[in-house]
Amino acid sequence: MNIFSHYQKKILNNLKSLEKKKIIKIPNNFKNLTVELPPKNEKADISCNAALLLSKFNNKSPYDLALILKKNILLDFTEFDKIDIAGPGFLNIHFNINFWRKYLFQIIQLNKKYGSNNIIKKKYNLEFVSANPTGPLHVGHCRGAVLGDTLSNMLIFNGNKVVKEYYVNDHGGQIKNFIKSVYLRILEIKKKQPFPKDEDLYPGDYIIDIAKNVIKNNKIKNINNFEKIYSLLARESLKYSILLIKANLKLLGVKHDNFIYESQLVKNNTVTKIVKKLQKKNFIYKGKLNAPKGELSKSWKARDQLLFKSTLFGDDTDRALTKSDGSWTYFAGDLGYHSNKVARKFDVLINILGADHAGYIKRITSATKAISNNKINLLCKVSQLVKLFKNGEPFKMSKRKGDYITVEDLVNEVGNDSVRFMMLSRSNDAELDFDFKQVTEKSKDNPVFYVQYAYARINSVFRLLNLKLDKKINIQNKEFILNDYEISILKKISEWPKCMELSTNKLEPHRITFYLYELVTLFHSYWNMGKTNKEFRFISENDKQNLSRLILLQALAIVIKNAMKIIGVSTPESM
């Protein structure tokens, strides 16, 4: 359970009962009551601001009102050991040891469900990666893939239904260049025709691999006429390109539920249908656009084109739906795709966008509002750039796949665990420096190692005692004793549900990696104390073990396991 939200409700009910007894007064619009962590210099377990909020309404100083609240709260809450009044009137509350004993056993009982929040269950569509199917995934895609997959795990952990989706942009000029590149590689292989130097083409060796697969499959018999075989060649080439992308995603531990193809939406007239629907609502019109920012107005040629009134829904300017040749724009395709999402009746849509698509958010959220009559919420998260470093210098790896560093290169270099953990080590909207030296060190400076090592140490204790980590340990109330250091670890464990709630509500999985590092730092520090002081060792030299400590270790292992599973990182039992 989240002790902070739990006691926020309980203390609010207590205040209401005091009002009924005419001990205090509460305003009708009473809000902003908080129960949270006290400052680090305070030893209390939770802190409440009730006296500060109600002092003026009760014509008392915060301190005087805090004295009244303290007296009455201690009468009603037997699990509170004492309450200190701090600063201008904060109630700093200390739990008694019996509370912590019960809480610890509750964690053990909840096990895999510990940290899951009782929130309103929803159906989510989470679209992420969605890279053009013209080649393997690179490091930039990697961060968005890990972010999207972890967000999905978080939402599922809290009982929501999530569809993980990949939108395949297999329609347009880039795809034509990709198909032509495969065709020219086929000619190179079969007819020894040199591959031309053309910046519009894709030169990577993976194109050769795709061409070889197309040849091996032998569905295309005559390669003399590109136009005649284009449709079949496109299907074959895209098939192998998507298989390559799926293999890259598998290296990261990512698997999508759906692959939605733009070409299929175009074939089904999805774009045309939604445009006609929005035209009936007067959200689409024919008009001229002014020159974009940064474009010289003299060189800009204004022309009549189909425009979407995105300014009605918060965008900076209306958006074009047709190109100069009359074909649909990239945005029109997205309009069709999001109408498809809305038709599937999700409660919430989430898009993970690359750094170069940050300016795209307003137009696509505007479109979703128009399509759904403001009923569907679209949330966009931007995955910022990743910079690779080694020994303080920019790091370049193999570029066999093209002119960029691939996901395959990165995972082969440092492993899936390090990639996933480090991709979540900063907020997604901040650029990330990925240091190869740091993630390969076996030290505190390598956070993924530091967390995994904590889990391995816990397992080592139980192995030495010939006990299973999940063994039920019975202990009498009077035998349950934890020292101040162990209580501090338990208090940090108790923050896990709050961490999950914040991470999920704000869609910020980096909070989990931060929390894990802080949690295991407390554990490792305590472990190291046992090296010089036998009193703090988890394994006693005599046969009598401290069972309270073993139960604490079980709870700690549960939190680490749950958190690492959500971010998709393994928890080895030995290292």
3-state secondary structure 374-424: CCCEEEEEEECCEEEEECCEECCCCCCCCCCCEHHHHHHHHCHHHHHHHHC
What value does the mean pLDDT take over residues 456-485?
Answer: 91
pTM of the entire predicted model: 0.93
Give the model confidence (pLDDT) of 289-324 as tens digits: 877 666 555 566 777 889 999 999 999 999 999 988
The residues pairing with 162 across neighbouring beta strands, listed in sequence order, are 124
Q: Do domains 3-95 and 447-567 have the same CATH topology?
A: no
Tell me which fold the domain 3-95 belongs to. Gyrase A; domain 2 (3.30.1360)
Tokens describing residue 318: 């209306």
Percent of the chain with pLDDT over 90: 77
Assigned superfamily of 447-567: Isoleucyl-tRNA Synthetase; Domain 1 (1.10.730.10)
For residue 399, what pLDDT is reported?
Answer: 45
- Give which of 456, 443, 444, 417 is closest to 553, Cα–Cα: 456
Q: What share of the chain is helix, strand, coil (3-state, %, to 5)?
A: 50, 15, 35
Give me the pLDDT at residue 299, please.
65
3-state DSSP call for residue 321?
coil
Domain segments of the chain: what residues? 3-95, 173-251, 447-567
Rounded to whole angstroms, the Cα distance separating 248 from 254 reads 9
Average pLDDT, the chain: 92
pLDDT digits (tens, 9 = 90+) for 124-182: 999 999 999 999 999 889 999 999 999 999 999 999 999 999 999 998 889 999 999 99
Span 328-368, pLDDT tens digits: 898 999 999 999 999 999 999 999 999 888 889 999 999 99
Q: Would residue 135 be called left, alpha or beta, if left means φ above 0 and alpha means ψ between -120 and 50 degrees?
A: left
